[in-house]
Amino acid sequence: MNKITSVRDRVWSRREIEALIADGRKIFIIDGRVIKADAWAPFHPGGDKAILHMVGRDGTDEIRALHSLEAQAHMQKFVIGRVEGRWINFLPPIQGGHFRPFLQEEEHEDDNGSQTDGGLSSSNSSTPPSPIFDAIDSEVRKRTSSSSASAVSEFESTTIRPDPIQTKLSAEKASDILKYPSLDYTSQDQIVAKYRELDARIRAAGLYKCPYWSYGIESCRYLFLFVSALVALHYGHYAISGVLIGMFWHQLVFTAHDSGHMGITHHFHVDTCIGIFIADFLGGLSIGWWKRNHNVHHVVTNSPEHDPDIEHMPFFAISTRFFESLRSTYYNRVMDFDVVAKWAISKQHWLYYPILLFGRFNLYRLSWEYLLLGQAPKKGPAWWTWYLEIAGQFFFWTWYGYGIIYKSIPTGWDRFVFIMLSHMVTMPLHVQITLSHFAMSTTDMGVHESFAQKMLRTTMDVDCPTWLDFFHGGLQFQAVHHLFPRIPRHNLRKAQKYVKEFCEDTGIPYVIYGFGEGNMEVISRLGEVAKQVKVFEECRKACAKDVVEGHGFDH
């Protein structure tokens, strides 16, 4: 017992934690405690990618937002010590952070020099020097690491022919810096403190408590739509039946979303069963895939390289960053900006709604990839979910594929109409999901930005009358939801006023549009990026011409 206590009370220096991460350890900080999640990561119900994005960071707010008190208590089993003072985040390895192993001679040295940690200095403390000087030091190291000739060449070429794409990205970042609170430690610490006070106020107001009667009303709506679809099917109204089935799926997703966040009973096994029954048995989609995908989205919202919810190449690009053929850390593949992508993205503001009509078909593909390619946890608390999901998939394709499409609809044309209508009717759901993020910032503001500020910078709410809440299903309160993912959706409207007060107090802009205005913002963003495809091509051709003609510095 004393040995365990001494291990948990050990004070780790920043340099030592850097070395652990360099050795492949999955280390993050929560409430000043050092967590080593190596043994837990493969069995994490939300997938290992969410953990990898926390490595080297203080993940207190993210972990509290996404996990129940029981899950947080479970994490204490993996505590290996603590840090003193304010922890300054490393850039996680999955995001490109670099870490040095701990050399033997360092055990006898004072570690007061600057170290590489993805853009920050390290010292023998968990609190390094000012990030302003760290950034300067990092830039100096970056410039001196290449040859002087290439550095001069890069500088001169940039001066002579500035890259319009990079200029635009720099302007977007400058705009965010001006609009949002400073990234200095004092400002961000104040935001963190006020966010935690806000969470306490919302808990005190009882907004985490589930209004079960609201889900009772939802269940009546689901039953009405499904029975109506069967009645229409019985009388040969196949198109109407398909529309009603699509509306049934559209409504089901909202409760599946709540259960995936453990926002109904707040009990992992109960909410998981609810989610599997709704998503797999009734909808043919994998709730396990969705949780693995969605947890990463909540941690790295609107990051072009890391957030799967905005990685839709070759069809959509909401930032010119995608022109660089980025590598997705979620899908572990390069998102090629190839000929197909250039054509589709140049027309994406016209293709947006037509492509979303087919969104549900892509969800089937992603679900089966998750279930068949070994992405589901095989051990840990979620070991049983794969078996239940597979059973759910067989059940779904039995009642929908065999029972309705094959046995109940007589002709091939009627089957085609039924399938297409039942899937296309769910298009407003895909619009709703993209609406809250596509028009928002994709700028990387660095590791110092607080969780609350990042969520509000990358997410917007949609304004609608109360009587339309059933249609939007809580997804219109995405900014509120991203701050407090486990609040049942029927309480999000009440929580919205608290968030508005928080934004006024901290100076963080609270972005909200009407549904029509929000759609216009998204189409405008897509159209703006589409125009940049032509600019990108002209710039590429001009640079290639300079190289061929040998005009490098003549212009």
353 — pLDDT class (breaks 50, 70, 90)? very high
Q: How many CB atoms neighbour CB 205 within 10 A? A: 13
pLDDT (tens digit per residue) in 319-328: 999 999 999 9
Identify the three-state secondary structure at position 415: helix
Least confident of 1-5, 381-385, 509-513: 1-5
Mean pLDDT of 361-375: 94
Start-end of CATH 3.10.120.10 domains in the chain: 14-95
Q: Which residue has the tokens 């269940």?
A: 219
User: What are residue 461's DSSP bridge partners?
Assistant: 512
Q: How far apart are CA 215 and CA 293, in angstroms?
A: 25
CATH class of 14-95: alpha beta
* Angular region, 85: left φ>0, alpha ψ -120 to 50, beta rest: left
Name the residue with higher pLDDT: 46 or 314: 314
Are 473 and 257 in contact, with CB atoms under 8 Å apart? yes
Q: How far apart are CA 320 and CA 312, in angstroms?
A: 13
Helix (H) or strand (E) holding 66: helix 60-66
Mean pLDDT of 97-124: 57
Of the candidates 31, 35, 20, 29, which has an alpha carbon nearest to the alpha carbon of residue 80? 35
pLDDT (tens digit per residue) in 49-85: 999 999 999 999 999 999 988 888 989 999 999 999 9
pLDDT (tens digit per residue) in 454-494: 999 999 999 999 999 999 999 999 999 999 999 999 999 99
Percent of the chain scored above 70 by pLDDT? 86
